[in-house]
């Protein structure tokens, strides 16, 4: 393990989470101006066997995947293979059905397409057949007028963008991540893990929830009195939505249903499937290294990255109900992406995983763990760690 003396306060927070019994197993990596200044890990990777968390222990990082998938698509756009302003149907003609001919790739990247839910239950046998799942979405009508509102496309984001990428390249997101990002940069990052990686992946312990497939709260750290006096109404709406099986929130995260497999996200089918919205397996160092490469211009030109992280939508989210903010696939600071810097961007993963970059400060952070919070986005441990990193600057 390694921690630059400037970041000793970060190490103190990391170790306190274990000594206070808040953390089971986890890791944190921080790059500053390209230098790995924090590389910490500890605890157990599997509470059933007592297997310790090692330097190379990866975890299933849920929606942190979305930023990786967005980067793959933006790389294709830089090469002229995809036009983000063009209709999805230009490369996927079947998608034009049910009034979707004008939906653009940008509207999918920014959660504005109106397709946050797969209406028909996806059978377990189809979990690794991305094209079949995408065909279900192609046959649906949007739930709102595309471009007029945004709502978090928890799983459909990946199947939609993944099919655009497949139509253009003939390859999966996982194939391109391996060939264009992970292998060239030596990153411990997979969208669809091989068996050798699955064998050492941390076993997740899910946050408490009422029943399998039911949504946790959108965030573990909602302010009691946010500006505008909406606090109690929003909190009540979120609670109702989390408890209602038919809410957009539950329908968005529950199909395909990971809970249908024993162990949920720990099941090899899920770890292997490589869903482009929630299918990445990564170490903290791999996740932070991805953002280090992004802000260094190694994955996208600096101008393209600035355009990609420019906020496109900000405000009430029809699925999460809280205010959210997105660039082209990247989260921007909001109630679901707690970062003490307006120049930061990245993505969280359900339960509290965090990946972020801050080009103005030369900062890249990756946090992974296995004791998930009962929250769709953010946990207090991760927030404390990120705040400690910024204090050290």
**Which residues are known catalytic residues?**
63
Round to whole Å and give the CA distance between 214 and 197: 29
Round to whole Å and give the CA distance between 195 and 174: 14
- CA separation (Å) from 322 to 154, 218, 247, 274? 14, 8, 14, 28
Burial code of 294-314, b = ≥16 C-beta within 10 A, e = fewer? bbbeebbeeebbeebbebbbe
Token pair 């030369």 is found at: 362
**How many Cα neighbours within 13 Å face the side chain of 13?**
21
Q: Judge whether 217 and 240 are in contact, CB under 8 Å.
A: no
Report CA torsion sign: 256, 347, 324, 322: positive
**What tokens does 146 get?**
């595309």
Pairing mode, strands 59-60 and 280-282: antiparallel
Q: Judge whether 368 and 45 are in contact, CB under 8 Å.
A: no
- CA separation (Å) from 244 to 38, 236, 247, 250, 325? 41, 12, 5, 7, 25
Backbone angles phi, psi at 71, to 5 degrees: -65, -40
Report CA torsion sign: 183, 188, 193, 197: positive
Backbone angles phi, psi at 361, to 5 degrees: -110, 0
């Amino acid at each position: 393990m390694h921690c630059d003396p400037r970041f000793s306060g970060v190490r103190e927070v990391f170790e306190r989470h274990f000594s206070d019994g808040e953390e089971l197993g986890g890791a944190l990596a921080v790059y500053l101006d390209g230098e790995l200044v924090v590389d910490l890990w500890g605890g157990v990777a599997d509470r059933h066997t007592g297997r310790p968390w090692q330097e190379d222990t990866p975890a299933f990082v849920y929606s942190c995947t979305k930023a990786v998938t967005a980067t793959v698509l933006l790389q294709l756009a830089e090469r002229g293979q995809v036009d983000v302003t063009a209709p999805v149907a230009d490369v996927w003609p079947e998608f034009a059905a049910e009034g979707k001919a004008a939906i653009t790739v940008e509207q999918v990247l920014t959660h504005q397409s109106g397709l946050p839910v797969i209406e028909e239950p996806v059978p377990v046998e189809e979990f690794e057949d991305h094209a079949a799942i995408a065909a279900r979405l192609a046959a649906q009508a949007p739930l709102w007028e595309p471009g007029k509102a945004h709502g978090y496309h928890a799983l459909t984001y990946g199947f939609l963008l993944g099919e655009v990428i497949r139509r253009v390249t003939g390859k999966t997101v996982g194939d391109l991540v391996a060939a264009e990002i992970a292998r060239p940069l030596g990153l411990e990052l997979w969208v669809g893990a091989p068996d050798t990686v699955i064998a050492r992946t941390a076993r997740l312990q899910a946050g408490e929830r009422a029943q399998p497939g039911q949504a946790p709260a959108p965030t573990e750290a909602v302010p009691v009195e946010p500006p505008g006096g909406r606090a109690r109404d929003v909190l009540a709406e979120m609670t109702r939505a989390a408890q209602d099986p038919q809410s957009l929130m539950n329908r968005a995260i529950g199909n395909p249903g990971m809970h249908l497999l024993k162990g949920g996200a720990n099941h090899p089918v899920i770890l292997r499937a490589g869903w482009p919205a929630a299918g990445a397996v990564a170490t903290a160092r791999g996740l932070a290294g991805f953002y280090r490469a992004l802000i260094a211009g190694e994955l996208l030109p600096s101008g393209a990255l600035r355009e990609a992280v420019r906020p496109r939508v900000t405000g009430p989210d029809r699925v999460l109900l809280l205010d959210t903010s997105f660039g082209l696939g990247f989260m921007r600071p909001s109630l679901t992406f707690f970062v003490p810097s307006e120049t930061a961007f990245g993505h969280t993963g359900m339960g509290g995983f965090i990946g972020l970059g801050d080009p103005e400060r030369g900062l890249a952070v990756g946090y992974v763990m296995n004791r998930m919070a009962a929250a769709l986005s953010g946990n207090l441990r991760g927030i404390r760690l990120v705040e400690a990193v910024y204090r050290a600057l």
